[in-house]
Amino acid sequence: MRIWRGDSSGGGLVDFTVPVEDGEVVLDAVHHVQALRAGDLSVRWNCKAGKCGSCSAEINGKPRLMCMSRLSEYPKDEPLTITPMRAFPVIRDLVTDVSFNYVKAAQVPSFSPTAEQPQAPFRMQQVDVERSQEFRKCIECFLCQNTCHVIRDHEDNKEAFSGPRFFIRYAELEMHPNDGLDRRRLVQEERGLGMCNITKCCTEVCPEHIKITDNGIIPMKERVVDVKYDPVRFFSRRRGPKKA
C-alpha cells in the first residue's frame, strides 16, 4: 500500500507491504504498518466501528472512513493509496487540521425551546422528531466537508461557508418540533447556504447514509425562499409553533 507521509511543509507517498487477514479493513492495514514498519505513522482513529467518525481519509482518491472500508473491496493486484483529507491542512501523515469545523460549529445558535413548551419534558410525536433525528445521526467525520467542492477547490470560500455538515445542523434545528428560533436568514446570508449548488457529492460520501442534499439542504433552500419572499408568513411563523 501507499500512504502519504509528510507534514505542512510537504511530503509524498511511501510504499509499505504488510500481511493482512481475511475480513480486514483499511484501518487494520494502517495499524499493521504502524506496528511493523513505521511506529510514528500519524493517524486518527477511535471506535473502529463507524460510530465516532475519526478515521476519515481518501482511499484511492475517494473520501471514506478507513474502519468501514474492507480490503476485499479493492483489487488485490494494485497497491492501495491512502492520502489525508484534501480540503483541510495537513498536520502530519494522515492527520489533518479540522478546526475549521469546530469554528463553524461554534457559530450555530443553539436549540431554543418554543414559548409553548419552554421546559422539558416536552411532548413531541415520533413522526415530528424523525426528520431531525436523521441529521443527528451525523458522526462528524467531516467527509462531506472534505468533498464539497465549494471549499475543496476554493480555499477562500471557507470564511463564508459552513458546509454540508452544518447545513444539516441548521436543518435539524429548523425542523425540531419544539425549537422557536428562526435561523433561515442567517444560514442563507451569513453561512453560505446559497453557495451550494446541490451536486450531492456530500450525500454520496456520507457513511451514515444521511440524505444531506435531498432531506437537508434542498428543504432548507425552500424554507429560505419562504422567509425571503413572503414577509407575512415570516412574521406569523415567529409567533406560532413551528410546523413545516
Residue 3 binding another protein, by CB under 8 A: no
β-strand partners of 82: 3, 59
Q: In the bound complex, what is the minimum distance in angstroms from residue 22's beta carbon to another protein?
A: 6
The string over 210-227, giving b where at least 16 C-beta atoms fall within 10 Å of a residue's C-beta and e elsewhere, is bbbbebbbbbbbebbeeb
Is 38 a binder of another protein (CB under 8 A)?
A: yes
Q: Is 198 in the site for another protein (CB under 8 A)?
A: no
Angle between helix 218-229 and helix 164-175 axes, rounded to 10 deg: 60
Interaction of residue 160 with another protein, rule CB under 8 A: no
Residue 25 in the binding site for another protein (CB under 8 A)? yes
Residue located via cell numbers 450525500: 203
Cell of 88: 483541510
Q: Applying CB under 8 A, does 202 fall inside the site for another protein?
A: no
* In the complex, least distance from residue 112 CB atom to another protein, rounded to whole angstroms: 9
- Judging by beta carbons within 10 Å of its beta carbon (0-12, 13-18, 19+), is residue 48 exposed, middle or buried? middle
Of 87-95, 152-160, 180-188, 234-242, the window that binds another protein (rule: CB under 8 A) is 87-95
CA 107 to chain centroid: 16
Among positions 13, 14, 91, 218, the unique one binding another protein when judged by CB under 8 A: 91
For the record, the C-alpha cell of 99 comes out as 478546526
Binding residues for another protein, rule: CB under 8 A, are 7, 21-25, 28, 34-36, 38-54, 68, 70, 91-93, 95, 98, 102, 105-106, 108, 110-111, 113, 119-126, 129, 132-133, 136-140, 173, 176, 179, 209
